[in-house]
Amino acid sequence: MSSSKIPCTLVWLRRDLRLIDNPALFHAAKRGQLITVYIFDEDCSGKRRTGQACLWWLYHSLKSLRNQLSQWNIPLIVKSGKDAFTILKKLLDRYNADAIYWNRCYEPFEYNRDYSIEKRFVARKIKVETYQDRVLYEPWKVKNGKGQPFQLFPCYWNQCLSLPQPRKPYDKPKFTVHNQGCVEYKYDDAGVWQLLASIADNDTSTRLQDFWHPGEEGAIQKLKRFMKNSLKVYSEKRDCIWLDATSNLSPYLHFGEISPFTIWHTACFMRHSTTRSISVPLHCTKRYLTELGWREFTCHLLFHYPDLPEKSFKSNFHQLKLEIDEEKLHAWQNGSTGYPIVDAGMRQLSQAGFMPNRVRMIVASFLIMHLLIPWQKGEEWFWNRLVDADLAQSVCNWQWIAGCGPDVAPYFRMFNPVIQGEKFDAEGYYVRKWIPEIAKLPNSYVQKPWEAPPTMLKIANITLGKTYPRPIVEHKVARELALATYSQLKRKREPPSNKNKKRKRAKKEKLKD
């Protein structure tokens, strides 16, 4: 119990597992003593269950933050359960805390839950402070001329850019009051840690540690490396999939180990830096900030259209009944479609929990268009394996590729996996890295082994159908089938003549009114 009159604040940590630019921690630290809590909801009542790769990340991220906070004797208590209000209330009582602070989350389930918790605490005269976090522009603040949410990215982003610049990041909190001796903490969360550790410990997880370093320190390292080496060529090189020229910050952003404000202002600083060696061309900074803009936009869409995870946004897609070819789905999942660029991507996903954006687009398009498998099947597979699996970004991107989302790629835009491979991995570095069995093929065949002459295959130690699969579908045939399938959708829409008639009738009725 608190032995002094110094106020004690409970900080509820969620997807903000960091010290730098953490407004809730910053303000709470100014008040006096503080304790922090993370609530792990294994059943995820009301929302999507956390994927396997993300569970591994979460466990390590919490461990890392707990270590950081322990330097000031600030406890990070991890609780598990569905009823966040009761858990928080018990902690407030137990530690005699008179205030609770948190940073806002924007997924519809989280937003509604937090709103009701806030109301219940306020009614009990507990001080509640919540802060903008996770997004540069809160979803309800960006509206079109009619006061409605945007559905098209360019209009949305132009509107955002016309608003005042995102706020400057907060410094690390100054923990002025030494917690030691003020509050007697009793950690009784060993069970939850054990639970988290056991969930996080599986085959996939052991592989992930070769690629990632979860936690705030890992995020800062990635940011520095990117800003120093890659931002200046981002625009030109971001699609060179073998080069690792993007920031790789998406998992850190998802868990809030770095804030979008820190990234935004670091990129702007690099742009205006007077040191010639680090000055960055305007178009690269703009391009990078636009990618952050896409992240904002997906959050905006999910907030305003909460059905997106379950339903295609375009209602004519609801009639699309596709039969799933399990064998082909299996080949896609395991990286054995016979198309090297697709297989390399899917193998990277299994090994590293990640894929560059370009490859995500290629493999997603292949599943939906070449194999005619619903986007939801692909999204589900990604969800469990990506270290950056994020509801808004995941469903919006999948719907975009499927052509059924609000801001969409046209349904007839179908990636040719060979051309994509030759364009974005011309030297074959990427496919050779993830598919060593075809590594000895020359560049001219590495994206299409089935066209290599038999002698060349022999020299490269490849027996098609045995050491590496033949293509499971032929591109031309798949393309025609996909176009036929999707053009039916178009035809099923209301014929334009009917639409015109309706519009005229509506106009007349309006005039009559």
Ligand X SMILES: Cc1cc2nc3c(=O)[nH]c(=O)nc-3n(C[C@H](O)[C@H](O)[C@H](O)COP(=O)(O)OP(=O)(O)OC[C@H]3O[C@@H](n4cnc5c(N)ncnc54)[C@H](O)[C@@H]3O)c2cc1C
* 257 near ligand X, rule: CB under 6 A: no
CB nearer ligand X, residue 66 or residue 134: 134
Reference 353, options 193, 202, 198, 195; nearest CA is 202
Does 247 show up as a binding residue in the annotation?
A: yes
Q: Please list the residues that pair with 33 across neighbouring strands.
A: 8
CB-based contacts of 179-184 (< 8 A; 24+ apart in sequence): 179/33, 179/34, 179/72, 179/73, 179/74, 179/75, 180/73, 181/3, 182/2, 182/3, 182/4, 182/6, 182/8, 182/33, 183/1, 183/2, 183/3, 183/8, 183/33, 183/35, 183/95, 184/1, 184/3
Does 248 show up as a binding residue in the annotation?
A: yes
Q: Mark residue 44 as left, alpha or beta (left: phi above 0; alpha: psi -120 to 50; beta: remaining).
A: left
Stretch that binds ligand X, among 13-21, 129-137, 307-315, 382-390 (CB under 6 A): 382-390
* 420 near ligand X, rule: CB under 6 A: no
The pair of structure tokens assigned to 30 is 């100014």
Does 246 show up as a binding residue in the annotation?
A: yes
Scanning the structure block, which residue is given the tokens 């560049």? 443
Q: Please list the residues that pair with 38 across neighbouring strands.
A: 13, 78
* 259 near ligand X, rule: CB under 6 A: no
Close Cβ partners of 492 (under 8 Å, ≥ 6 residues apart): 316, 319
Does 76 show up as a binding residue in the annotation?
A: no
The identity of residue 162, as a single letter, is S
Contact 425, 433 (CB under 8 A): no
How many residues bind ligand X, per CB under 6 A? 28
CB nearer ligand X, residue 151 or residue 250: 250
Give the footprint of ligand X on residues 339-378 (CB under 6 A). 356-357, 360-361, 364
Q: What is the 3-state secondary structure (H, E, C) of 137-165?
A: CCHHHCCCCCCCCCCCHHHHHHHHHHCCC
The edge-to-edge listing of strands for the beta sheet with 99-103 is 76-80, 33-40, 8-13, 99-103, 127-131
In the set 21, 216, 388, 407, which binds ligand X (CB under 6 A)?
Answer: 388
Q: Rounded to whole angstroms, how far apart are CA atoms 95 and 184?
A: 8
Does 123 show up as a binding residue in the annotation?
A: no
* 285 near ligand X, rule: CB under 6 A: no
CB nearer ligand X, residue 120 or residue 423: 423
Stretch that binds ligand X, among 77-85, 312-320, 397-405, 451-459 (CB under 6 A): 397-405
Stretch that binds ligand X, among 264-272, 274-282, 301-309, 393-401 (CB under 6 A): 393-401
Residue 194 beta carbon to ligand X: minimum distance, rounded to whole angstroms? 28
CB nearer ligand X, residue 41 or residue 407: 407
Residue 320 beta carbon to ligand X: minimum distance, rounded to whole angstroms? 18
State the binding string over 297-336 for ligand X (x if CB under 6 A, else -).
-x--------------------------------------
CB nearer ligand X, residue 240 or residue 253: 253
Stretch that binds ligand X, among 20-28, 41-49, 241-249, 474-482 (CB under 6 A): 241-249
* 129 near ligand X, rule: CB under 6 A: no
Residue 350 beta carbon to ligand X: minimum distance, rounded to whole angstroms? 15
User: Helix, strand, coil proportions of the chain in percent (round to 5)?
Assistant: 55, 5, 40
Does 130 show up as a binding residue in the annotation?
A: no
The pair of structure tokens assigned to 39 is 């609530």
Does 234 show up as a binding residue in the annotation?
A: yes
In the set 61, 151, 204, 247, which binds ligand X (CB under 6 A)?
Answer: 247
CB nearer ligand X, residue 411 or residue 468: 411
Q: CA–CA distance from 445 to each of 227, 348, 427, 434, 466 (Å)?
A: 35, 21, 10, 16, 18
Q: CA torsion, points 99, 100, 102, 105, in degrees to nearest 10?
A: -130
* 250 near ligand X, rule: CB under 6 A: yes
In the set 270, 389, 402, 431, which binds ligand X (CB under 6 A)?
Answer: 389
* 398 near ligand X, rule: CB under 6 A: yes
* 401 near ligand X, rule: CB under 6 A: yes
Contact 111, 303 (CB under 8 A): yes
* 107 near ligand X, rule: CB under 6 A: no
CB nearer ligand X, residue 357 or residue 376: 357
Reference 380, options 393, 392, 394; nearest CA is 394
Stretch that binds ligand X, among 57-65, 211-219, 240-248, 404-412 (CB under 6 A): 240-248
Does 388 show up as a binding residue in the annotation?
A: yes
Got the DSSP string for 192-237?
HHHHHHHHH-SHHHHHHTTT---SHHHHHHHHHHIIIIIGGGHHHH
Residue ranges of the annotated binding site are: 234, 246-250, 288, 388-390
Residue ranges of the annotated binding site for FAD are: 234, 246-250, 288, 388-390
Site residues, ligand X (CB under 6 A): 238, 246-250, 253-254, 291-292, 294-295, 298, 356-357, 360-361, 364, 382, 386, 388-390, 393-394, 397-398, 401
